[in-house]
Chain A
Amino acid sequence: MTAATPDTVRPVRRHGGLRAAARVRVLARIEGRRLLARPTVLAGAGLSLLTMVTLTRTTAPVLNRDDTTASAALLVLAAATLLATNAAALRSRRRATDELLASMPTPPRVRTLASLCSVAGVVALAGLLGGAFLLWRLAADPVTAPDPFELLTGPALVALGGCLGVALARWAPSVTVAPVVVVGLAALEFSVNLLIGGSEYGGRVKWLAPFVGQHGVARELLIRPTGWHLAYLVALVAVLGCVALLRHPATRPTIATAGAAVLVLLLAGGAQLRPLDPAQDPNALAAELTAAAAQDCEQRDDVTYCALPGYEPWVDRWAATVEPVLARLPERARPRPLTVRQDFLGTRLESLADHGGPGTAAEPTHSEVRPGLWRGRNAGEGAYQFGLALGVAALAVGLSPDGALSPADALPGQVGEGLQACTPAGQARSVVALWLAGQTSERSAEYLRNEVERQGGTTAPATGTPAPEIYFARPAAHPIGALNFGGWEAAVAVQLLRQAPDHIAGLVDRHWDTLSDPATTTDEALALLGADYPAPGRPPADVRGPGSTEAGSSGTDWRLVACP
C-alpha cells in the first residue's frame, strides 16, 4: 500500500478549470455516444428521414421550399432527442444511483454540462440528415435556391429539444414529464402555426414558436425572418442550457452567459415580431415577379412559355406536355396565341391591408394556361401532366376559365357562399378535352384511369341525381380548384384511350365543330366517335344532356350549371 505524498497529489485548485473542462469533455463524449445509440434517437432519425421523403417524393425539387420541409421533418428527431436526453439525465435517479454518484469527484454541475454537450452528436446527425436530403433533391433537376438559415434551423431545433430535455430533468425530475411536454409542444406548434398565426402577414407572433411552416404559400411571397429566427433559436438553446445549470449553485460564467442569451433572445424575438412594411404587399410582389417572368419568355413554335425567376428549367417539361395536346388538335382549333405563364395561382395570397381572407391573383385570360409553383414527380407526375394538358385542351374546346365560377345573385334561396360553378358534364367537349389530356403520356392516361376508378362511383345523393361527378383541377382553374367534368364523360374518355390515338384524332378533326359545340351532348359524341358508354349500365336519359344541379357533391358549396 502506498500513501499519497504531497508530491504525488496534484494541485486541484490550480488546474481546477482545465480539469473540469476535461471531465466535461470525457463525460460528454461518453454520453453523446450513448445518446446516438439510444433506440429513441435512432427511431427519431429514421422517422425524420422518412418524413422528408414522404413529404417530397411526389413533387419536383423546389429548394426554397425543401429547406423548410427538412426542418419540419427534423422536428421528429428534436422530439426524440428531448425524450432521450431527459431519460439520460434522469438515469441516476431512475436507477437509484444518485448517492453513489455523489461520492464521485465529478460534481453534478459537470454532469449537467456534459449532458448538455452530449447533444452535439445528435445535432451533427441532424445536419447530416438535412444535408443528405438536400443532396438527394439536388440530384433531381432542382429549381430555385435554398436559404442557409432555413437549413440550419433543423439542427438548431434538435439542439433545442436536447437542452430542454436536460433542463426538464434538472427542474422536474420525473420520467413522466418529458412525454407530456412533447405532445404539448406539438399541440403548441400546431396551434401557433395554424390558429394564432393563421394570417401569414398579420400573425407575426407565430415566429415565437420553434418552427414556422410555409403553409402552401409561395416562398417568393413570404417575408420570413429566417436569420433572426435562427438567432432566436440559438439564444433559446443557450437560455435552456443555463436554466439547467442554474439548478446547481450559480457561477459567474453561467450568469453572464444567461444574461447575454436572454439579451439576444429578446433582440431576435423583437426583430421577428416587427410589423412588416406596408410597401411589402404580397400581391404587389406577385405582380412584380409575374411581370419579370413576362419579360423573359421563351417562344417555342406557337407557344410562349413564361417561367418565374428560378423556375426556367421547367419550361422543357411544360413543352413536353403541351405539344402532344396541340399535335392532336385540328390546325384551326389550336388556341392562338397560347401562353403558358407561371404564376401564383393556387397559393394563398393576402394583402397587408386586409389580411383576413384569401386574395386572388389576376384572372387567367382565354389564351393562357397558368401552371403554379409545384410540379409533380414520380407518382405525382401523371396528375401534373394531366392537369396541365387539360388546361390546354379546355381552352381548345372553349371552356373559358372565367366561366368556371361566378356569383349566383340570380339564384333563389341560399346557395352556400353565393357562387355558381359551371360544369361541362353531359357535353361532348368534356369527353374530347379529357381524351386530349389523357393521351399526352402513359402516366397521364394512367392518372385518368385511376381517377375514374377512384371517383367514378361518386354520386350526389343530396340532390337525388345519379350523375356521377368527377373533379379535375386545371392549372388555369379559378381558385375554387376544380371542375366537374362528369363521371360518364371521364369513363368514355378512358374507353377512347384504349383505341388508336391517330384514329380518334382523325374523328376529332373531322367532327371538331360539332364536338366542341356546347350544345352537343355526350350521347351525340359517342355516335360521332364510334364509342359507347362503358359497361355496365348507361346513364338515365335525364342526366345525359347538359343541365344544372342544385349543388356539388359537397352538398351546399355552390350551384352547378352547364358551362356556356
Chain B
Amino acid sequence: MRTSDAFTAATRFGLGARKGDFQTIASDPRGWLDAQLDARYVPSAALNKFPSTMDSIRYMRDEMQMKREQKQEKKEALAQNLDAAAKIKGAQQELRQDYVTQVAERTRGMADSPAPFFERLVQFWSNHFTVSTTKQQDLALVAAFERDAIRPHVLGNFHDMLRASTRHPAMEIYLDNFRSIGPDSLAGRRRDKGLNENLAREIMELHTLGVNGGYTQKDVTEFAKILTGWTVDADGRGDGSGFFFAPNLHEPGPKTLLGQVYYEDGVNEGERALSAFAAHPSTAKFVATKLARHFIADDPPPAAVDMLTATFKRSNGELLPMYRMLIVMDDAWANPLAKVKTPNDFIVSILRATGVSQTTDDKTIAGAFRTLNQLPFSAPSPAGWSDKGGDWIGAEALLQRIDVARYAARGIFAHTDPGQLMEDTIGPIASDETKRAVAHAGSAAEAITLLFASPEFQRR
C-alpha cells in the first residue's frame, strides 16, 4: 500500500480530507470506500425540505400562468400591468432565492457527509444526466431532479436511473420533449404542431450510446416519435411522480429504431427503447469511459475502460460492481494527482477541510460557485460540465481560484494552524515546495491561501 492511498481515497474518490480522515482511512482505504456503498446511507436531512417534484411543477406553472395573465392585462390597463409585473418579479425572486438555498444546502450536505464517495457519485450521475437552469422553467425543478431521479438509483441499475431521468419533468422541460407532438397524433392534426427531437438525440448521444454509438439521424427522428406523449404532469393527473403520458400527443403507427420495429404501443414504446439503449454495448462502453475519466485520468487507459465495460455488460448495468471494480483497480491509485478538481470539488473540499459549511451563508456559498463559473445545476449545455483539467485551468480561472482561496483563508486564519491544516488535507503527498511555502509565508492567512492554491490541493 502506498502512503498516498489515504489521500487518494479521501480526495479522488471522496470530496477532500477532513481533520483526522487520513488516520481513519490509512489502515484500509479501499474498505473505507466500500463501506460507503451502503443503501442505508442517509443523506443530509435538508434535502427533504426541498419542495416535492409535484410542488415544484405547481410553482413553475403558477409563475407561467402569472406571466400569461400579465400579457392579457397589458392589453387592458397599464397600471394593472405594473402591478402584475411586480408580482411576477417577486415570484421569480422567490424561486431564485429557493434555488440558491437549495444549492447551499446541497453543498453543505456534501461538505459534511460521512459518505463523500457516495456524494461524488451523486454529482457524477447528476452531471451525466444534466438538467440546467439555463432553461428558466427548470429553476424550481433541478434540485428535485437530483434528489428524486438520481439519488435513489446511484447504487442501483443504470437502466432505472435512465428511466427516472427521462421521465422527470426537469428533463422533459430542459430538452423540450414535454411539448413535442406527433404530427399525426390527435393534437398534432388539430393544431398543426409537430416533433421536437432534442431529448431523443441527447438521450442517445449523451446519456446512453455516445455520439459514435451507431445511430443515424433517422433513428433520432424515429425515437423522437416514440417519445411523443412523454410530458409533464401539469394538472396532477398522473401517479404523483411528475410524469404523464398524454396519448393525444403520441405519434401513432409503427416506428423503426436501431433496426427494430416498434409497433404502436403508447408509452411502452419509449420504455422498450430505453431498455434497449441501456442494454446496448455502446452504452456500456460510453458509461465506462466516463467513469474511468472521472476516477482515473482525463485520458483513461484503454485497458481500464475495457474492464469497466465488461463489468457493465456482465452485470446488466448494475452500478455497484462498476464502483467496486474502480476501487480495486491499480490505475485509479497510481497517480494521486492525475485529475484537477473542478470548481465544485475545490469549493466543497475547502468547506470540508475548514468545517465551516454550516456557518457560511447561502449567498457566500453560491457566490463562490458563481465566481468560478460552476454554479450547480447551471451547466451551459446538456453535455454537462467538463471532466478535463485543461478546461478548468486558464489564466483567469486560476486567478479566481486563488481569490476564493484567499477569501476562505481570511475567514479561518485566526484560529487555524496552517501546518496542521496542511497535514490534515494533503499531508501524505505534500511536496517540498508546498511545505516550504506554507512554513515561510508571511502570515497564517497567506500560508492557508498558498495551501489551498497549491497543486496538491487543487488536484485529486
Partners in one complex: no
Residues of A in contact with B (beta carbons under 8 Å apart): none
Residues of B in contact with A (beta carbons under 8 Å apart): none
